[in-house]
Amino acid sequence: MAREKGGFWVGVAAAVFYPLSYLTGSPHYEGREHLPAEGGALVVANHISYLDPVYTALWVHTARRVPRFLAKASLWKIPVFGKVLAGSGQIPVYRDSADAQQSLRAGVEGLTEGKVVVIYPEGTITRDPEGWPMHSRTGAARLALSSEVPVLPMVHWGTREVYDHYNKKFRPLPRTQITVKAGAPIDLSAYRGRPIDATILREVTELFMTRCKELLAEVRDETPPPGFYRRAAGGRTAEAATPEAERDGGPA
């Protein structure tokens, strides 16, 4: 199978990411057979560490495809890194602005053009103390329902052991096994052809993240918790909340 061409900047990113992945962990990739050899595909993944994109990208690249991430627009302002993002065809996400719909359109266009688009529905690394997926945004659901491409759930495990942002810990040694695993495409036939409204978007988002949670449970060999962790208003978990109250699967 021929490799999908990514151009100069994808080559630059690969030249950095491959050695970085081996310096920061021992990568183990599973489920690449679920990614189509050609044509559009949407990858929805959990997010536990800022190292995740390195391993997500390599999971896709070792499947001989080119990843296009939906990522925070602020990253394009970083010198050199922003140029790599732009040159490799990544998609900036403008949150809470008139440009948010532009990001959605760019994502749908990428899928329609046969690209592999990657999104982290949680929007940032999880706040769940145990590393399970938390309450997520509905952008991934809107992308999926606005296109006719397979949607693959994906999970990462091990990256937080190397770089734990919230606790300011970086432990590249001893090398930790980093597992990136994708599951079979999610069946969306029950939602196709229905009006896309807030209820449908929330249902599909919960479906995506439930599948990710189940997949992560397989990797961790643990029983997943019910529902999803949810921060209180203002960005902090309510101190008086019980674990059950902090996990919420209801609508946003």
CATH no. for residue 147? 3.40.1130.10
Residues 21 and 159 sit within 8 Å (Cβ to Cβ):
no
Mean pLDDT over the full length of the chain: 88
The encoded tokens of residue 42 equal: 């949407």
Residue 169's domain comprises 24-227
User: Residue 95 falls within a domain, yes or no?
Assistant: yes
Residue 71: inside a domain, yes or no? Answer: yes
Which ranges of 93-197 does DSSP label H, i.e. alpha helix?
Answer: 100-112, 139-145, 159-162
In a domain, 240, yes or no: no
Mean pLDDT highest for which of 96-105, 170-179, 232-241? 170-179
Q: Find the range with the poorest average confidence among 46-50, 93-97, 167-171, 216-220.
A: 93-97
User: Which residues, 6 or more positions from 18, have their beta carbon under 8 angstroms from its beta carbon?
Assistant: 58
Total structural domains in the chain?
A: 1
pLDDT of residue 181: 98
Statement: residue 94 has pLDDT above 60: yes
How far apart (Å, rounded) are the C-alpha atoms in residues 118 and 120? 7
Burial zone of 160 (CB within 10 Å; 0-12 exposed, 13-18 middle, 19+ buried): buried
Rounded to the nearest angstrom, the gap between the alpha carbon of residue 230 and the centroid of all alpha carbons in its chain is 18
Asked if the structure places residue 163 within a domain, the reply is yes
Tokens of 134: 């938390």
Q: Establish how many alpha carbons lie within 13 A of residue 17's alpha carbon, considering only the half-sphere containing its beta carbon.
A: 22
Residues forming a β-bridge with 181: 30, 155
Strand partners, 117: 42, 68
pLDDT in tens, 117-163: 999 999 999 999 999 999 999 999 999 999 999 999 999 999 999 99
Asked if residue 196 belongs to a domain, the reply is yes
Residues facing 152 on adjacent strands: 43
By C-alpha distance, which of 91, 96, 89 is closest to 106?
91
In a domain, 245, yes or no: no
| pLDDT tens digits, 231-250 | 764 333 333 233 333 344 33
End-to-end CA distance of the chain: 43
In the block, which residue shows the tokens 């930790």?
A: 176
- State phi, psi for 155 to the nearest 5 degrees: -135, 155
Strand 91-93 and strand 151-157: pairing? Answer: unpaired
Q: Per the domain annotation, does 89 fall within a domain?
A: yes
Find the mean pLDDT for residues 207-231: 96
In a domain, 64, yes or no: yes
Contact 151, 144 (CB under 8 A): yes
What's the rounded Cα separation, in Å, for the pair 48 and 127?
Answer: 8
